[in-house]
Structure 1
Amino acid sequence: MNDFSQRWTTRLHQGFPLLKAMQVQLLGDQSDWQLTAPYGPNQNDHHSAFGGSISTLATIAGWLWVSELAGPDIEVVIQTGSTHFLIPLQSDLIAKVCPPDASQTARFLQMLQRKGRARMALEITVGDATGKIAARFNAQYVAG
């Protein structure tokens, strides 16, 4: 595990006890990362991934992405979020942020610098190691 993934995994486990119980890990580096959670502690009584775990993993992936973009001294919270479940997932969970286009990112950073507050809309997918997408999460985060 590199410094980036170790730093974030530790912060997530210390700051969010639920994520420690879910055994969430950040894999990758600053330029290309994903959040993972093993299937075992995140399954439901139907032997598929628990919807709450899927939504939580997606929520945190988006929060982490905006937090990295905004910088260490900026607070980030989720404003709205909606999960659309596509298929059951019966393997380890992998959350990936679909990066917005460069103009949206630039507007966010300009607004944050100018007003001290900005919003970012993101889509996060949760799927498995084969690339199958089990859920799409659309959310808006506020930084300030």
Structure 2
Amino acid sequence: MVDFARHWTRRLNDGFPVLAAMQVQVEGTPFAWYLTAPFAANHNDHGTAFGGSLSTLATIAGWMSTSVLAGDGYDVVIQTGNTEFIAPLRDDLFARPLPVDQYTAQRFLQTLSRRNKARLSVQVTLLDAQGETVALFSGLYVATALPAGNPSATA
């Protein structure tokens, strides 16, 4: 596992007990990553992936995408989110955030630097093992500067 993936997997599972129960893993590098969770820990009584697990995985993928872009020293929270379910999933869960375009990323970082607070809209695709889209998520996240000396500022 790449250091990036190992670091974020540990951070997610230590910081969010529900993610540890879901057995969430980060795969990839800082430039191309996705989240996974096994079907066995995230199914419902219909034999499909639990919608709450799909929504949670997507919400965290958006949160992580915003956190990675903002960098150390910022706290990120979700303001709003919506999941559109397209097809049932009977396989492991995969969540891949869509890249934020360069202009939007630059504007987000400039606002964050200038005001110590900025919002970012993030889109996440939930996929099956064959790469077919089973759900789409869109969320609005807010990043704010952490106070100097806050231990979370370097986590």
Question: Structure 2 length as normaliser, TM-score?
Answer: 0.91
In 2, the alpha carbon distance for the partners of 1:16 and 1:111 equals: 28
Quote the offset at 1:72 in angstroms: 1.4
Quote the offset at 1:100 in angstroms: 2.0
Deviations 1:46-101 (A, max 9, x none): 00000000000000001001101101110000000000000000000000001121
Deviations 1:97-127 (A, max 9, x none): 0112111111100100111100000110111
Q: Secondary structure at the match of 2:10?
A: helix
Q: Secondary structure at the match of 2:48?
A: coil
The residue that corresponds to 1:42 in the other structure is: 42
1:6-25 aligned at under 5 Å gives the runs 6-25=6-25
The residue that corresponds to 1:142 in the other structure is: 142
The residue that corresponds to 1:72 in the other structure is: 72
In 2, the alpha carbon distance for the partners of 1:86 and 1:6 equals: 31
Quote the offset at 1:129 in angstroms: 2.1
In 1, the alpha carbon distance for the partners of 2:100 and 2:4 equals: 22
In 2, the alpha carbon distance for the partners of 1:42 and 1:76 equals: 25
In structure 2, list runs of 5 or more residues that go unmatched.
145-155
In 2, the alpha carbon distance for the partners of 1:66 and 1:122 equals: 8
The residue that corresponds to 1:33 in the other structure is: 33
Supply the AA of the counterpart residue of 2:40.
G
In 2, the alpha carbon distance for the partners of 1:38 and 1:72 equals: 29
In 2, the alpha carbon distance for the partners of 1:61 and 1:98 equals: 10
The residue that corresponds to 1:57 in the other structure is: 57
| CA RMSD after TM alignment | 0.6
In structure 1, list runs of 5 or more residues that go unmatched.
none
Q: Secondary structure at the match of 1:76?
A: strand
